Amino acid sequence: MSALGGENELRVALLGYGLAGSVFHAPLIAATSGLRLAAVVTGNAERGAQAAREHPGVAVVESSERLWERAAELDVVVVASPNRTHVPLAAAAVARGLAVVVDKPLAPTAAEGRHLVAEARGRGVLLTVFQNRRWDGDFLTLRRVLAEGALGAPARFESSFDRWRPTPKPGWRERGAPEEAGGLLFDIGSHLIDQALLLFGPVRDVYAELDRRRPGVEVDDDAFVALTHASGVRSHLHATVLAAVPAPRFRVLGSRAAFVKHGLDVQEAALKGGGRPDAPGWGEEPRERWGHVHDGTEARVVQSEPGAYQRFYEGLVESLRHGAPPPVDPADAVAGLEIIEAARRSASERRAVPMAGE
């Protein structure tokens, strides 16, 4: 019997125990009051043993087919498996009346994403997307700075997510088949686009440059996307794995001042190191990594907001228990996929592409 109507812990099944499942989702689920990690699905014996070791009492299930046999014992399914499986696994959960969290990207195409959203809505099932970088500390800080009006009217948003990985890693993320939804545009680009839309709203047109810089790669490993928002703000978004020296994470230019922030959010490294968001000081940055607001004369240090990935799953509990909106509206994820598709067209046609309705 479902626990949704009572005050028992909501029972969560996690599909996939690779990087996304083991580092991001499982620790956040385990640290969230009202949730219990009840099952992990993986066909990899080593990962299954890891899940059992890291989360005592969890049931390790070797396939999604076996999981569906015990669907009545679950309340929530989290899809953290390879991108090509997101839609079929989420659709199977929706068909069984289970709330679903899908790691980004929601789907390989906007059309598949729209269909999945409509199916969940039609069945009255909660569907949301794990856009965890809405709760990066630097992004939360930028939202506060903009809300305070410290920059005046924003004009340009520059957002870079740079890594140094000159040697490609094996795995599905590097495969070129369209159904894999591999490459940086689908991976980091999903976050950068989501953040830009959240800050500055709908987009009129998209221009993109997508490149394969490392020998032998099948997917984009260097991506630049320029968005012209209906508000007039321009977003310049860049992700690369060939940045031995990274660009600022954010540079935002306004009519009165600019905001500059270097360095990536600290939560990913903390999670990889075994940290949990219920630990004291979670998500806090040292002062030397705080950003600055420059007014052309002097720079003012801006204390960083603590990063808070845990808010996603706290929001999920509020949605399921009390009918609050989902922590991420899946329609936002579809809008992001539409921009990804426009960016791919732009890169192939070498021109700016207008968005539908603009």
What is the DSSP annotation of 206-260?
A: EEEEEE--STT-SS-SEEEEEEEETTS-EEEEEEESB-SSPPPSEEEEESS-EEE
Instruction: Judge contact between 190 and 340, C-beta under 8 A.
Output: yes
Domain with CATH 3.40.50.720 in the chain: 10-130
pTM: 0.94
Domain with CATH 3.30.360.10 in the chain: 133-308+339-354
Q: How high is the pLDDT of residue 7?
A: 61
Q: How high is the pLDDT of residue 5?
A: 45
Listed in sequence order, the residues at least 6 apart from 215 whose beta carbon sits closer than 8 Å to its beta carbon are none
Which of 347, 104, 113, 59 lies closest to 207 in space, CA to CA? 347
Tell me how many degrees the CA angle 32-36-41 measures, rounded to the nearest 5.
120
Q: How high is the pLDDT of residue 196?
A: 98
Tens place of pLDDT for every residue, the chain, 358 residues? 355 545 689 999 999 999 999 999 999 999 999 999 999 999 999 999 999 999 999 999 999 999 999 999 999 999 999 999 999 999 999 999 999 999 999 999 999 999 999 999 999 999 999 999 999 999 999 999 999 999 999 999 999 999 999 998 877 677 778 888 999 999 999 999 999 999 999 999 999 999 999 998 999 999 999 999 999 999 999 999 999 999 999 999 999 999 999 999 999 999 999 999 999 999 999 999 999 999 999 999 999 999 999 999 999 999 999 999 999 999 999 999 999 999 999 999 999 999 976 5
Tokens for 248, please give them: 């600022």
Q: How high is the pLDDT of residue 60?
A: 98
Burial, 106: exposed, middle or buried (Cβ in 10 Å; 0-12, 13-18, 19+)? Answer: buried
Could you tell me how far CA 307 lies from the centroid of its own chain? 14
Which CATH superfamily is 133-308+339-354 part of? Dihydrodipicolinate Reductase; domain 2 (3.30.360.10)
Q: How high is the pLDDT of residue 177?
A: 85
- We find that the CATH architecture of domain 10-130 is 3-Layer(aba) Sandwich (3.40)
